[in-house]
């Protein structure tokens, strides 16, 4: 079983070395990577380098630096935390990366599933109100179109109204955004297909019953959607 | 299993807890079983589940158990293991037919040496108008059991904050009670398969904290559009509020947050 290995480096705990020192470090890492990496093909079943998470804008300030990380894994610049208060999450097993607010945390990670949870917004001991996003890799789209996949997914909620659909871009791909689905709570969901694989993100609560969560969930939405990128794996030959 | 109808039975023998599956292939009855001691853990159940899921019938038919035990052999006859002192809860869990939903609902968790688990209730997450749910403070890996009979409508990861969820519904869908067991750390057979009919008091998973919450069991019974554990439901093994003597117990009746306001466990 592949376990995602990741490191969370918070802003305040990030590198203390100077920018110049970092460049030296990056150079050494790059040389080491080139020397050690083997070819990594794309696809979810492929063995990939360990995921890494960084957050320091000082560290990964230049695009070329940002795209050269461990082994042959290429992390897009959009996933590098260049602003205070953002953390980068790189899920190499599932082939994507994103940014999220530093006050949130990553949890419940397993193949095909990752979650980012916000801080509790009330004092309830066991079930506080909190914002989150669940990122699911639903598997192969097979011969289905994105619209067909969305149709299948929202079918059980057809009696809920109004369900709204809009289009957006996620990771450079055309995506469908669905609002109005109420399961545990109301949510905003976004579906996208990349390389034949379906990705599904659910942001919650998007629900008038929880106005205290509106700010958090909108922050999370904006940051995640703007930064979400698919990873590519390249040969270092 | 392997395309054949199966009856899943679990209970406790005089010696140990056991769990086995009776698979009918035509007129041949197969059994797969495992003996679990009191220390059975998630891994034991996973091994069993893997065994059950991977079972394949061979080309050669064995002698049927009816041939061995007689034509009046019935799978439920297996539910005869018991002893005077052992706690006996023999269950035909994966039901071959559709029994009526029981009027009494059972607490989805057992107590621990007579002590019930506290319910923290009144969470705003469970209060929208007039619906409520129970957050049961049972420990991680504590067994979660079906509170009533039902058919698995959903099993797996819920992306809107329930985490690992088992949702049971009325047979064949449609209108009726639906019961939710959420934040599970793991789900076990027979709840791992949508469509399975499951009896009351069957272990379907273990308490966890998935979905970004502290460890607890979220449990509610939904009748129509409302979450409720009091809406016409008598829950055996729950102690706490009640409006009037003789009313069923339920943890929250005023829409206000309470902590440790009730207890659950039987």
Give DSSP secondary structure letters for A118-174.
Answer: PPPSS--SSS----EEEEEEEEE-TT--HHHHHHHHHGGGTTSS--EEEEEEETTEE
What distance in Å separates residue A59's CA from the closest CA in chain B?
A: 30
Instruction: Tell me: pLDDT of B248 over 70.
Output: no
Are residues B125 and A113, on separate chains, in Cβ contact within 8 Å? no
Instruction: Tell me: pLDDT of A87 over 90.
Output: yes
Looking at every residue in chain A, the average pLDDT score rounds to: 75
**pLDDT band (50, 70, 90) for residue A45:** very low
**pLDDT band (50, 70, 90) for residue B162:** very high
Among candidates A113, A129, A183 on the partner chain, residue whose Cβ is nearest the Cβ of B125 = A129
Among candidates B161, B163, B182 on the partner chain, residue whose Cβ is nearest the Cβ of A204 = B161
Among candidates A108, A129, A183 on the partner chain, residue whose Cβ is nearest the Cβ of B160 = A183
User: Are A201 and B160 a contacting pair, CB within 8 Å?
Assistant: no
pLDDT of residue A192: 98
Left (φ > 0), alpha (ψ -120 to 50) or beta: where does A68 sit? beta
pLDDT of residue A204: 96
Are residues B125 and A117, on separate chains, in Cβ contact within 8 Å? no
Task: For residue B91, give the nearest of B5, B24, B17, B14 by alpha carbon.
Answer: B17
What distance in Å separates residue A108's CA from the closest CA in chain B?
A: 6
Quick count: other Cβ atoms within 10 Å of Cβ B162? 24
Instruction: Tell me: pLDDT of B123 over 60.
Output: yes
Are residues B159 and A126, on separate chains, in Cβ contact within 8 Å? no
Distances in Å between the alpha carbon of B169 and those of A64, B1, B152? 54, 22, 6
Question: Is B218 near chain A, with CB under 8 Å?
Answer: yes
Among candidates A130, A184, A189 on the partner chain, residue whose Cβ is nearest the Cβ of B158 = A184
Q: What does the alpha-carbon distance between residue B120 and residue A56 come to, in Å, rounded to a whole number?
A: 40
> In the structure encoding, which two tokens stand for residue A181, read together?
């689905």
User: Are B218 and B162 a contacting pair, CB within 8 Å?
Assistant: yes
Residue A6 makes CB contacts below 8 A (sequence gap 6+) with A50, A51, A52, A53, A89, A90, A91, A106, A109
Contacts of A128 in chain B (CB under 8 A): 123, 125, 213
Task: For residue B182, give the nearest of B124, B236, B227, B235 by alpha carbon.
Answer: B227
Among candidates B212, B216, B257 on the partner chain, residue whose Cβ is nearest the Cβ of A132 = B212
Are residues A128 and B157, on separate chains, in Cβ contact within 8 Å? no
pLDDT per position as a tens digit, A139-197? 999 999 999 999 999 988 887 768 999 999 999 999 999 999 988 889 999 999 999 99
Complex confidence, ipTM: 0.70
> In the structure encoding, which two tokens stand for residue B172, read together?
């064949």
Beta pairing, strands B234-236 & B104-106: parallel
Query: What is chain B's percent helix, strand, coil content, to nearest 5?
Result: 10, 40, 50
Dump the DSSP string for B195-263. Answer: T-EE-TT-EEEE-B-TTTS-SBEEEEEEETTEEESSSS-EEETEESB-SSTTSPPBS-SSSS-EEEEEE
What distance in Å separates residue A213's CA from the closest CA in chain B?
A: 11
pLDDT per position as a tens digit, B23-33? 554 544 555 55
Kindly report which listed range (A43-57, B152-166, B217-231) carries the lowest average pLDDT score. Answer: A43-57
Are residues B214 and A209, on separate chains, in Cβ contact within 8 Å? no
Instruction: Tell me: pLDDT of A26 over 60.
Output: no
């Amino acid at each position: 079983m592949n376990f995602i290995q990741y490191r969370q480096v918070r802003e305040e705990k990030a590198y203390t070395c100077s920018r110049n020192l970092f460049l030296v470090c990056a150079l050494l890492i790059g040389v080491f990577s080139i020397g050690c990496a083997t070819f990594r093909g794309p696809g979810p079943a492929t063995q990939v380098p360990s995921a890494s998470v960084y957050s320091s804008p000082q560290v990964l300030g230049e695009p070329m630096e940002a795209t050269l990380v461990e082994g042959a894994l290429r992390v897009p610049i959009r996933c590098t935390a260049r602003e205070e208060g953002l953390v980068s999450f790189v899920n190499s097993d599932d082939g994507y990366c994103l940014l999220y607010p530093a006050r949130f945390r990553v949890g419940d990670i397993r193949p095909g599933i990752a979650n980012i949870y916000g801080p509790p917004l009330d004092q309830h001991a066991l079930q506080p109100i909190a914002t989150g996003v669940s990122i699911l890799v639903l598997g192969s789209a097979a011969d289905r179109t994105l619209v067909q996949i969305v149709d299948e997914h929202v079918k059980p909620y057809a009696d809920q109204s109004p369900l709204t659909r809009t289009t957006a871009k996620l990771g450079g791909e055309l995506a469908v955004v669905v609002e109005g689905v109420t399961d545990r709570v109301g949510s905003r969901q976004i579906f996208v297909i990349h390389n034949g694989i379906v990705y599904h993100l659910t942001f919650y609560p998007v629900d008038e019953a929880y106005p205290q969560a509106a700010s958090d969930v909108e922050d999370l939405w904006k940051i995640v959607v703007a930064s979400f990128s698919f990873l590519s794996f390249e040969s270092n030959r | 299993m392997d395309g054949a109808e199966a009856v899943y039975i679990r209970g406790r023998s005089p010696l140990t807890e056991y769990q086995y599956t009776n698979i009918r292939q035509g007129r041949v009855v197969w059994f797969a079983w495992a003996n679990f001691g009191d220390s059975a853990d998630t891994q034991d159940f996973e091994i069993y589940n893997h065994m059950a899921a991977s079972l394949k019938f061979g080309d050669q038919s064995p002698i049927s158990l009816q041939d061995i035990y007689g034509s009046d052999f019935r799978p439920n006859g297996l539910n005869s293991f018991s002893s005077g002192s052992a706690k006996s809860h023999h269950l035909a869990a994966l039901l071959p037919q559709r029994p009526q939903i029981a009027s009494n609902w059972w607490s989805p968790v057992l107590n621990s040496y007579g002590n019930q688990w506290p319910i923290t209730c009144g969470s705003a997450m469970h209060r929208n108008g007039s619906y409520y749910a129970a957050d049961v403070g049972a420990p991680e890996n504590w067994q979660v059991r079906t509170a009533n009979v039902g058919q698995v409508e959903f099993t797996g990861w819920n992306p809107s904050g329930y985490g690992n969820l088992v949702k049971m519904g009325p047979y064949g869908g449609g209108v009726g009670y639906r019961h939710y067991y959420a934040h599970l750390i793991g789900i076990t057979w027979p709840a791992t398969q949508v469509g399975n009919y499951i009896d009351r008091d069957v272990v379907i998973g273990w308490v966890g904290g998935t979905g970004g919450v502290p460890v607890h069991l979220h449990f509610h019974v939904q009748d129509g559009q409302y979450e409720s554990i009091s809406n016409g439901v008598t829950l055996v093994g729950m102690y706490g509020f009640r409006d009037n003597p003789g009313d069923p117990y339920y943890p929250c009746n005023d829409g206000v947050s309470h902590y440790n306001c009730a207890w659950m466990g039987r």
